[in-house]
A = this chain, B = another copy of it.
Amino acid sequence: MPYELYYWNGLQGRGEFVRLALEEAGAPYVDVVRGSEDEGLGDAAMMALLNSKTEPSIPFAPPFLKDGDLIVSHTANILLYLGPKIGLAPETDQRYVVHGLQLTIADMVTEVHDTHHPIASGQYYEDQKAPAKARATDFLAHRLPKFMHYFERVLAQNPHGAQHLVGERLTYVDLSMFQLIEGLHYAFPRATARFASHYPRLAALRKAVAARPNIAAYLASDRRLPFNETGIFRHYPELDSAGH
């Protein structure tokens, strides 16, 4: 039975981190909300689950994954669950190291979101532009370099070499790092103009992931939606500024 991934349609969003892992592994999955209502899929299927009055493990929000009766919610938790099953995580205690890095990525993703929504996630960006500019300025000056310097250190200190964040084989967190770097380049082209000279190992990881056959095929497919201004990574030129 294929995995069922539930996530909002029309954007990459947090669901994309899960899609990249499923696509790299060639694992069978259904992107439920993008499916047809005639087949019991689509938006209504997701809302029915979120609003269920009987399901014991209701998620707070998408993305979530259904595998048989089990519902796993939160991007990082889904990857934790899938990782060993699809060959993208160690089965040793190193899986907690991989998961810790994924949670740091999740924290940074939240901070990226908050550059355009610093006051209220339920209100329009246009109604919080001034604080958004203040938060984005701080993010680009302090937070982005702090996170990226950290991730670059993790690659540099991997005793198996800087090709992967953990160990000597690809794990899902390498794929998520690719997505994070892609998103940052989309949202902040000016601030990331010198990314590769500041973070050479991360830039090399980004290239290596993009060149993997299954990832390249996915990125060229129509399953890969382009970045847009309804997702996490939004290109609002007024929030971007020249990098360090």
Contacts and interface: CB of A to CB of B under 8 A. Distances in A.
A122 interface: yes
Interface string A65-99: 00000111110110011000000000001001101
Interface string A101-142: 001100100100010001111110000000100110010001
Interface residues of A, number: 49
A144 interface: no
Determine how many copies of this chain the complex contains: 2
A122 B158 CA distance: 29
A120 B100 contact: no
A61 to B, nearest CB: 8
Interface of A: 52-60, 64, 70-74, 76-77, 80-81, 93, 96-97, 99-100, 103-104, 107, 110, 114, 118-123, 131, 134-135, 138, 142-143, 147, 150, 153-154, 157-159, 166
